[in-house]
Chain A
Amino acid sequence: MKAENTAILDPVTGWLILALFSALWIFLGWLWGRRAKQLDEFMLAGRNVGLSLAVATAMATWVTSNTTMAAPQLALQLGIWGMVGYSLGAIGLFMFAPLAKRIRELMPHGYTSGDFIRLRFGKTTWRIFLMISLFYAFGWLISLGMAGGVLINALTGIPYTYGMSVILFICVLYTLLGGLRAVIGTDFVQTIIIVCGVIILAYLAIDKVGFEAIHAGVQKERPELLNLLMPAAIMFLFNNLLFGVGEIFHSNVWWSRAFAFRSGVGFKAYTIAGVMWLPIPIVAGFIALAAPALGLNVPAADMVGPLVAAKLLGFTGAVLIFIVVFSALASSLDSLLAATGDLITQDIYRQHLRPHADEKELRKAAMVIISLLGVVTWLLCLPRLTTLAELLYFTGAFVASTIWPIVAGLYWQRANRKGAALAMLLGTCVGLYTYFAIGFYVAALVGAAVSMLIVVISTLIWPQSFDWQTLRNEDPL
C-alpha cells in the first residue's frame, strides 16, 4: 500500500543530493582514513582521538534516524512526555561518561565490549552477551537501512529499494576506506549539519506557525497529547531512559569509542555530548506537534517530522530535512558497521575461529566482515518486514537486561558469572513477555528491573572474588 502519495521533491533532485553527499562522505572517508594501515588505526583510530572529535562522534552517533524520525513520531503518539521521554536518552551518555573512564583504565589494550564480558564473566555469559549484542546491532542496522529507504521514497519518490541500497553502499564504502578514523571524521561534519538543520527547522516552525496556533491545533485535534497524565506516556518515560542506557552500556559502538579516545578524554566527551544531544529530540519532537495546526495528514507516524518540515518550507524544507536525516543516518550507520565489524572480527573470527591470526589477517578479516554486514543488512532490509519503531523497541528488553551485569561487572568485585548470565537471560525473557502483554513502552523497563534483581541477589548468594588485574594484563592481540 502506498500510504504517502505526494512526494515533495522530484526524483532527479533526490538523486542529485544523494550523489553530492555520497561523494563528500566517500572523499572524506578516504582522506581521513588513508593512514589507517595498522589494525589499531583501522579499528580504534590509533587510540588517540581528541576531545572535539570525541564529542562530535558521540553526539552524531547518538543522533540517529531514530532521533530525527522517531522523536517526532513519539511526540505525535505520546505527546509532551513522548518528546521529553525521548530526550532522556541523553542520560545514557551522561552515565556512560564515568564508565568510559573506568573502561579505559581497566582495559588499556581492550578492543570490544565482548572482551570485557569474556574476561570478567567467562565464556558462557560472553556468548549470551554476544547474541544479545549482535541481535541489537542487526536490529539497529536494519532500522537505519529501512529509515533511509522510507525517507528517500517519501521525500523524492525514488523507490524504497534504490534509496536503501544507495545509503547502505555508501556507508559500507567509506567505512571500508578509513575504518573508525573515517567514521569519526565524517561524524564531525555530520554533527554540524544535523545541529544547524534542526535549529533552522524549529525556528521556522515557531516563526511560521507560532506557539499559540500549535497549542490550539493540538488541543482541538489531538487533545490527549497535552495530557501530562497520559498513562502510556508515563510508563514510557523511564522505559525510554533505560532503553537508552542499555543501548549505550552494552553496545560496542560506545565501547570502541571509549578505547579509541585519548586517555582522560572519555569522561568529558560523553558528558558534553549528552548536554549537546539533550535538546535535539525536544526540538525534533516539537516539530511534530505543528502537524494539527498545519492541517497535515500523517499517513505513518514515523514520517511526521519530514512531512511537517516539507509543509513548512516546501522545496527548501524537504531538501533540508533530506540532508539532515541523510547525515544522521550515515553517522550512525558507519559507526555501527565499524563497531559491529570489530565485535565480529575480535569476538567471533579471532576468539572462535582463528585464535592465532596475525594483525594483517585480522585487518583483512575486518574489511570482509564489514562488507558482509552490509550485504546481510541489505538482504534483511529488502522485504520491509516491520515499521521503524516496532523494530527498534523490540530490542529494548534485550539491551536493558545487560545494564546491571555490565555496571556490577565494572565496579563490584563480587559480581559473578552465573548471576550475570541469568540476569541477561531472564531479564530479556520477562521483558519480551511484557512487550507483547502490555506494550513496547514497558519492555526495557521490566527487562532492566528483573536483571537488576538477579544481579543483586546472585551477588549476595554466590559472591565471587575477581582480580581486576586480569583485565589489565590481557592484550587481545
Chain B
Amino acid sequence: MDERPRTRNSLKTCQKNILFLSLLLPSYLWASVPVLNGPHETVNAGYFQLNWEGEGERFELQEQGGETQAGTRTLYTGPDTASAISGRADGSYRFRVRQINAQGQALSPWSQALTVDVVHHSLAKAFGFFLLGFLVFISTVAIVLAGTRHVSR
C-alpha cells in the first residue's frame, strides 16, 4: 500500500533530473537533422544542384574540398532549401547542412556529408564536338550562300 506514493515521488524526481540534465545538453539534440540531397553520379559539366529538407526556418550550408578550397567554408546561411553550385574545377567536394536560428546558432547537428565528384569532360572530346559543330555550321552557311547566289543569277 505504501509503494504507490513512493513510486510517484521517485518518478517526479526522475522527471526533474531529466529536465535538469536536458538544460545542460545542447539544444540541437531535439531538432531533427536536415537531409542533404545532390547528384549521386560524377558531375562532368562542373555544375549541379543541392537541396535539403528540414524543419527549421534557417539553414547553414558548408563546403569542403576541391583543389583550391582545402578548408571548410560556409556557402550560405538563410531560409532557402536549395543551392545551385557551379564553376567547380575537377575535384571531390563535401557538403553538409544544419539548422540555425536567426543569430546563426546551431539548432541541429550537421547533416550527413554529401560528396560530389567533379570530373570535367576531356578537352579532346570537347574540341572534337567543337570541330564537328564548326563543320556543320560552315557547311550550312556555304549551302545557303551558294544557293542564294545561284538563285539570284
Inter-chain contacts of B80 with A (CB < 8 A): 3-6, 297, 299
24 pairs of residues in contact across A and B, judged by CB atoms under 8 Å = A1-B51, A1-B53, A5-B79, A6-B80, A76-B47, A77-B45, A77-B47, A78-B45, A79-B86, A98-B148, A102-B148, A223-B89, A224-B87, A224-B88, A225-B86, A226-B87, A230-B46, A231-B125, A232-B44, A235-B130, A237-B130, A238-B137, A242-B136, A439-B44
A412 interface contact, C-beta 8 A: yes
Stretch binding the partner chain, chosen from A168-176, A309-317, A401-409: A401-409
* Min distance, Cβ A246 to any Cβ of chain B, angstroms: 10
Total CB contacts across the A-B interface at under 8 A:
163
Task: Fill in one digit per residue for B126-153: 1 if any A CB lies within 8 Å of its CB, else 0.
Answer: 1101101111110111011111101100
B26 interface contact, C-beta 8 A: no
- Report whether A299 and B121 are in contact in the complex, using a CB–CB cutoff of 8 Å: no
* Min distance, Cβ B97 to any Cβ of chain A, angstroms: 12
Size of the chain B interface, CB-CB below 8 angstroms: 47
Residue among A101, A105, A232, A239 with the highest chain B CB neighbour number at 10 A = A232
A300 interface contact, C-beta 8 A: yes
Task: Fill in one digit per residue for B47-85: 1 if any A CB lies within 8 Å of its CB, else 0.
Answer: 101010100000000000000100000011011111110
B120 interface contact, C-beta 8 A: yes
Contacts A229-B126, A231-B123, A239-B133 known; list 8 others, CB within 8 Å.
A77-B84, A95-B141, A222-B87, A225-B86, A230-B46, A234-B129, A241-B133, A407-B140
Inter-chain contacts of B125 with A (CB < 8 A): 231, 235
- Report whether B49 and A232 are in contact in the complex, using a CB–CB cutoff of 8 Å: no
* Min distance, Cβ A161 to any Cβ of chain B, angstroms: 20
Q: Which of A427-451 contact B (CB under 8 A)?
A: 438-439, 441-442, 445-446, 448-449
* Min distance, Cβ A463 to any Cβ of chain B, angstroms: 16
- Report whether A222 and B86 are in contact in the complex, using a CB–CB cutoff of 8 Å: yes
* Min distance, Cβ B142 to any Cβ of chain A, angstroms: 10
A352 interface contact, C-beta 8 A: no
Pick the contact of A301: B84, B123, B146, B147 (CB < 8 A). Answer: B84
Q: Which of A215-270 contact B (CB under 8 A)?
A: 218, 221-227, 229-232, 234-235, 237-239, 241-242, 245
Inter-chain contacts of B129 with A (CB < 8 A): 234-235, 238-239, 442, 445
